[in-house]
Chains A and B, each alone.
Chain A
Amino acid sequence: MNDTPRTRRWIEIRGSVGQLDWCLIGFSLIGGMLVLLPLLALLNITIGQLADIPFLISIATQKQVIDSILLTFGAGLVAVAILIIFGTPLSYVLARTQSRFNQVVESLIDLPLVLPHTVAGLMVYILFMQRGLIGAPLKEMGIVFEDAFLGIVVAMLFVAMPFYVNTVREGFQKVPVHLENVARTLGATRFQAFCLIVLPSSIRHIFNGCILAWGRAISEFAAVIMIAYYPMIISTLIYYRFTTGGIKESSAVAFVMIVACFAVFLILRSVTRYLGRYDDRV
C-alpha cells in the first residue's frame, strides 16, 4: 500500500478516534441540515451584495444607515443596562427562594417569550403611550415614549427580559449556598457575600445573559414599531427601504447589519470563552 501523505492523514484521522463513530457522523449530517439554512441565506445575500460593491459601500456609508445601527445598538445597550440593574436582584431572589409566588413571577417574566411580538408591542404601547398608565404621568414630567428613544428602549426591555433573568437566575442557582454561608461566617454581610462571592462566581452567566438579551433587543421589530416607528432602528429602516426602495436597497442595509452583528458577537463570544473559568486544566 502506498504510504502517501494523503493516506497517512486518513490513517491519523481514523487513529485519533480509534474507530469511526457512525452515530456521531449521522447526527452531524442531520444537524448539518439545520446549519445549512442560515448558511445558504447568508451566502445568497453575500454573493448578491459582493456583485455590486460600489453600491454596497454607498449604502454602508449613508448617515441614516450608520445612525440607525448605532441607535439600535445603543438602545439595546441601555435596555441591557436596565436589565442588569433590576434583573440581577430579581434573578438572585428567584434563585435563592422557594416561595409559591416564584412560579407566578417566573411565568410573568417568561410571558414575552410566548407572546406574538405585535401583542408584546401593543402591551408596551398601551402602558407607555401618552395616555397610558405609566406614559401619562411621565408625560407631565416631560418624559415621552411614543416615537422616542425611550419607547424603543422599553419595547426592547420587555422582549429581552426573560433572556437575561432566566440565564442569570440559572447562574446564581449554580453557585452553592455554602459559599455564601462561609463568606458570612468569615465576616461578610449578606450583601457583601452577594457582591464578592456570588456575582464573580456567576460572571459567565451574567455575561451570557447580557449577550442574549442584547441580541434579542436589537433584533426586535414588531414591538418597537408599535410604540416608536421613529427614530428608525435598523429593523424599521430595512422594512422602510424594502417598501420604498425594493429588495436591492433593503438587502444592502441588511447585509451591513449582518456584518456589524457578526463582528460584535464574534468578539463577545471570544470574551465569554475565557470569562469566569477558574479551572485552568479545563
Chain B
Amino acid sequence: MIEFDRVSIALGDFLLDEVSLSIQKGDYYFIMGPSGAGKTIILEAISGLLVPDSGRILQEGKDVRGIPPEKRRIGLVYQDYSLFPHMTVEKNIAFGMKMRHLPALEVGQQVNKLMKQFEITHLACRAPLTLSGGEQQRVAIARALAIDPELLLLDEPLSALDPITRDRFIEELRSIHRDQGLTIVHVTHDRRDATSLGTRMAMIIDGRLAQEDRVDTIFASPCSERVARFLGFENILKGTVMSCEDGLCTVDIGKNRVAVMARAKPGSHIALCIRADDITVLKHDGNKTSARNIFDGTIIQKTISGSLALLFIDIGVNITAVVTTKSVAELAFDAGTPVCVSFKATAVHVLPPQVFETRNPDTRPGFSIT
C-alpha cells in the first residue's frame, strides 16, 4: 500500500538516510526507535507534509511526489493531538468534511455518529483546551477518521495518557483496526504498544532503517545490539564460540561458558542477548532447574520497581535479572547474597559477528559488557 524506496530527507542536521519500508493494506504497522530517530519525519513524509530529497514514496504502486497532503486522504494524529483551539469539539470533527465540501446534512450525521462511537457527544460544544488528555485524544482520532482515511497515522498518541485510559485506548485502537480494516501506522517508543497492537514493525535508529519484519519476529530476533537493547534485552554478553554441534554451541563469556542454540563457527565472536525476565534466580542452595546454563553468582545491587525487582548479579560478568518483590522478600535477596542463576539455551538470542556494535556501552554503575 505504502512503500518507501530509499527515501532520504535532510532537515537541518538530521538526515533520514535511504529508508525503505513496505506497509501493506490492513497492517497495524509500528515504527519504533529512540527519540530523535526520525519516526515522525517518516509519518510526515507519508502524509505528504515532507517531500523526499531523494528516493520515492509509492502509494498503491504510484509515486506520490507532487500530490499535496490535502489530496491524499491520510488521517494524522500527533502526540499533542493538535486540536484547533478556536473551534468546538464538534467543529473540529467536522473540519475535514467541510474542507471536502460534503453536504451539511451528511457532515452533521457523520459528526454525530463519530461522537457517539467515541462517547464524546456530551463534549460537542466544549473548547478543546478544556478537555482532559483522554478526551482530547478521542476527539483527535474521531477528527482523523471523519475524512474516511485510507491510512491512519498515529504519532505517539498514547504517551501522555494515564495507565487506565491508555489500556482502554489500546482496546479502542484494536477495534478500529479490526472492525474497519483500516491500515494504521503507529509511531511509538513504547514496546508495550507494539506488542499489544502491531502486526508488522520497523526499527529506526539514527535516521536509518535497522530492521523491518513482523512484530513477534523482531522482538524474538533483533538484528543488532542497539535494536536488542531498545527492545528490552537487558543482558548482551559478548563471547567466543568454543564448539558447535547439532545447533548447540558452547560460548566462552569469560569465567563461564554458555550453551546457546545457534550455528556458528568455533572461534567466531558473537553476542548473546538475554532478557532479564528469562533468567531465573534461586538461593545458592536451592532446587536446581532443567536449564542448561546454571551459574553461581552474587547479588551486587537490588532495585525495587513496583511489584518487580531488578537484581544486578555478578556471575563473572554482570547480568540483570527480574524477580517479583515477593520472591525478594521470601528468599531474602539483598546485596551480597550468593545466588544461583539459570537460563535456557533457547532463551538466548545470538547476534552474529557482523552486527556487533561497540557504540553506547552499558553505563550502569558497576556494569560493563566484556
Contacts and interface: CB of A to CB of B under 8 A. Distances in A.
B345 to A, nearest CB: 48
24 contacts: A176-B82, A178-B78, A178-B80, A181-B44, A181-B49, A181-B76, A184-B69, A184-B70, A185-B49, A185-B70, A185-B72, A185-B76, A186-B75, A186-B143, A187-B70, A187-B96, A187-B99, A187-B100, A188-B95, A189-B68, A201-B86, A278-B129, A279-B85, A280-B127
Interface in A189-229: 189, 192, 196-197, 200-201, 203
Interface string B5-49: 000000000000000000000000000000000000000100111
B96 A186 contact: yes
Interface string B99-137: 110000000000000000000000000011110000000
B84 interface: yes
Interface string A165-183: 0000000000010110111
A276 B84 CA distance: 12
A183 B147 contact: no
B82 A178 contact: yes
A63 interface: no
Contacts of A100: none
A178 to B, nearest CB: 4
A279 B127 contact: yes
Interface string B311-349: 000000000000000000000000000000000000000
- Interface-central residue, B44, B96, B143, B147, by most chain A CB under 10 Å: B96
Contact of B147 (A176, A186, A197): A186
Contact of A176 (B47, B75, B76, B80): B80
B74 interface: yes
Given A197-B84, A201-B84, A276-B86, A182 B78 contact: yes
Contact of A200 (B49, B68, B86, B130): B86
A188 B75 contact: no
A6 interface: no
Contacts of A181: 44, 47, 49, 69, 76, 78, 82
- How would you classify the secondary structure of chain A's contact residues: helix, strand, loop or mixed? helix
B99 A281 contact: no
Given A181-B76, A278-B127, A281-B130, A186 B99 contact: yes
B90 to A, nearest CB: 15
Contact of A279 (B49, B74, B77, B129): B129
Interface in B269-308: none
Given A178-B80, A279-B127, A279-B130, A201 B96 contact: no
A278 B86 contact: yes
Given A179-B82, A179-B84, A278-B85, 17 more contacts: A178-B78, A181-B47, A181-B69, A182-B76, A182-B143, A185-B47, A185-B70, A186-B95, A186-B146, A187-B96, A187-B99, A187-B147, A189-B70, A200-B86, A201-B86, A278-B127, A280-B127
Interface of A: 176, 178-179, 181-189, 192, 196-197, 200-201, 203, 276, 278-281
A192 B85 CA distance: 16
Contacts of A179: 82, 84
A278 B128 contact: yes
- Interface-central residue, A183, A184, A189, A281, by most chain B CB under 10 Å: A184
A181 B78 CA distance: 10
Contacts of B146: 186
- Interface-central residue, A178, A186, A276, A279, by most chain B CB under 10 Å: A186
Interface string B129-154: 11000000000000110110000000
A162 B335 CA distance: 66
B130 A188 contact: no
B85 A201 contact: yes
A1 B80 CA distance: 57
Nearest to A184: B69
B84 to A, nearest CB: 6
Contacts of A281: 130
A186 to B, nearest CB: 3
